[in-house]
């Protein structure tokens, strides 16, 4: 998937930092960024500058308290357009799918959303940082997403699981915020029940979403313009597979191409739609199988297979192993390491 190299700086950043009791001008000096960054029209920063700014914020606010400060200061006025647009969604599932599509416009992160029949799992990944990712960033993102959902529903939604690679020392404060204690794990992940994922957003506004969407799509198109067609197909499939939209016709329509033109461009890159679909399904299957709580039936559903046996046969063709055997071997490996 094509990754952004520059990210827009919204005026709302200055408001959010001020509401947190921080001095925006001091933070810019600390991060060695231009003094007019928050006020200049169409300001952008690189991934390295993004993490540098975050490091400055962390230094000023403190690692332990920063995520909760962000959660307390969040207001609609401080949101970037992609985030505000997600609040216009009818529910959590749609909001997270929209935010997933536009997250790369906001910062050097990707959001993977798995909406299953029993729960919705949101996984976050960061990129573009040569050093260590600031410790508070993972927790801040999980606090932010939870607060976004609570703002939309006007209900204290409690996640089923909060996971991140490093839990804070003041764990009780975060247990009180989320409604359950965060746990240590390999991924940055939030899980919500299907009931909460479908809970209506009182902020839903399709007219406002219609206002925001064209501009966001245009920014994505600019980002994707230099991407290979195979990368763009994979990006569409990652978004469309859980929703059952993975035919070549639907992908071509999403990319504003004819089926024939899409096939020709893929052929010029020495690949085919079927190859990319299988590779994308295999990659997602391996990811899902690393999560013990996702059943084979749910994985089959998320990958667009009509039945579990079809998924099992396909996985065996890809890897020479069954999903159950792969998961068993993976668990043995993890237990050996620990």
Convert the chain into a string of H (helix), E (strand) and C (coil): CCCCCEEECCCHHHHHHHHCCCCHHHHHHHCCCCCCCCCCCCCEEEHHHHHHHHHHHHHHHCCCCHHHHHHHHCCHHHCCHHHHHHHCCCEHHHHHHHHHHHHHHCCCEEEEEEECCCEEEEEEEECCCCCCCCHHHHHHHHHHHHHHHHHHHCCCCCCCEEEECCCCCCHHHHHHHHCCCCEECCCEEEEEEHHHHCCECCCCCHHHHHHHHHHHHHHHHHHHCCCCHHHHHHHHHHHHHHHCCCCHHHHHHHCCCCHHHHHHHHHHCCCCHHHHHHHHHHHHHHHHHCCCCCCHHHHHHHCCCCCHHHHHHHHHHHHCCCHHHHHHHHHHHHHHHC
Average pLDDT for residues 158-176, to the nearest whole number?
Answer: 93
Q: Tens digits of per-residue pLDDT, 258-289?
A: 899 899 999 999 999 999 999 989 888 887 88
Contact yes or no for 100/109 (Cβ under 8 A): no
Confidence of residue 336 (pLDDT cuts 50, 70, 90): low
More confident residue, 298 or 293: 298
Q: Give the per-residue pLDDT at 90.
A: 94
Q: Give the per-residue pLDDT at 290.
A: 77
| 240 pLDDT above the threshold of 80 | no
Residue 193 φ/ψ, nearest 5 degrees: -70, 155
CA distance 73 to 71: 6
Q: Tens digits of per-residue pLDDT, 126-166?
A: 887 655 667 788 899 999 999 999 999 999 999 999 999 88
CA angle centred on 118, ends 158 and 294, rounded to 5° = 105
Residues 6+ apart with CB under 8 A from 246: 237, 240, 277, 304
Q: Give the per-residue pLDDT at 79.
A: 62
| 208 pLDDT above the threshold of 90 | no
Average pLDDT for residues 63-70, to the nearest whole number?
Answer: 82
| 122 pLDDT above the threshold of 80 | yes
Q: Give the per-residue pLDDT at 289.
A: 85
Average pLDDT for residues 96-114, to the nearest whole number?
Answer: 86
| 315 pLDDT above the threshold of 70 | yes
| 77 pLDDT above the threshold of 60 | no
* pTM for the model: 0.64
CATH code of the domain occupying 228-338 = 1.10.10.60
Q: Give the per-residue pLDDT at 195.
A: 96
Q: Give the per-residue pLDDT at 312.
A: 94
| 338 pLDDT above the threshold of 60 | no
CA distance 277 to 259: 15
Question: Domain locations in the chain?
Answer: 65-197, 228-338
Tell me how long the chain is: 338
Q: Tens digits of per-residue pLDDT, 27-50?
A: 998 988 887 788 777 778 888 888
Q: What is the rounded average pLDDT for all residues in the chain?
A: 85
| 335 pLDDT above the threshold of 70 | no
The number of CA neighbours under 13 Å toward the Cβ of 303 is 29
CA angle centred on 176, ends 172 and 177, rounded to 5° = 120
- With pLDDT > 70 as the criterion, what percentage of the chain qualifies? 91
CA distance 114 to 92: 12
| 310 pLDDT above the threshold of 80 | yes
CA distance 67 to 81: 21
Q: Worst-scoring range by mean pLDDT, 106-120, 143-157, 208-222, 270-284?
A: 208-222
Q: Give the per-residue pLDDT at 334.
A: 52
| 119 pLDDT above the threshold of 70 | yes
């Amino acid at each position: 998937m094509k990754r952004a190299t520059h990210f827009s700086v919204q005026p709302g950043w200055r408001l959010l930092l001020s509401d947190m009791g921080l001095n925006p001008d001091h933070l810019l000096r600390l991060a060695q960024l231009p003094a007019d960054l928050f006020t200049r029209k169409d300001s952008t920063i690189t991934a390295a500058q993004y993490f540098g700014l975050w490091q400055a914020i962390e230094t000023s606010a403190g690692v332990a308290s920063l995520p909760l400060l962000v959660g307390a200061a969040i207001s609609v006025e401080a949101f970037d357009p992609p985030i505000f647009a997600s609040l216009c969604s009818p529910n959590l599932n749609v909001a997270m799918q929209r935010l997933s599509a536009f997250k790369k416009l906001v910062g050097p992160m990707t959001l993977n959303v798995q909406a299953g029949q029993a729960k919705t799992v949101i996984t976050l990944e960061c990129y573009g940082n040569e050093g260590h990712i600031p410790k508070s960033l993972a927790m801040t993102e999980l606090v932010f997403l939870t607060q976004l959902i609570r703002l939309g529903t006007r209900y204290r939604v409690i996640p089923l699981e909060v996971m991140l690679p490093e839990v804070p020392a003041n764990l009780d404060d975060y247990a009180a915020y989320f409604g359950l204690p965060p746990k240590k794990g390999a991924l940055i992940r939030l899980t919500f029940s299907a009931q909460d994922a479908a809970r209506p957003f009182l902020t839903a506004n399709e007219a406002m979403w219609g206002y925001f969407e064209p501009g966001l799509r245009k920014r994505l198109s600019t980002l994707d313009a230099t991407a290979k067609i195979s990368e763009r197909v994979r990006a569409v499939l990652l978004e469309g597979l859980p929703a059952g939209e993975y035919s070549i016709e639907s992908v071509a329509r999403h990319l504003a191409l004819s089926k024939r033109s899409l096939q020709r461009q893929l052929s010029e890159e020495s690949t085919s739609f079927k190859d990319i679909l299988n590779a994308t399904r295999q990659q997602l299957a391996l990811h899902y199988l690393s999560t013990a709580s996702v059943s084979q039936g749910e994985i089959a559903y998320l990958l667009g297979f009509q039945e579990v046996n079809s998924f099992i046969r396909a996985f065996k063709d890809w890897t020479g192993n069954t999903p159950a055997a792969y998961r068993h071997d993976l668990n043995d490996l993890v237990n050996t390491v620990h």
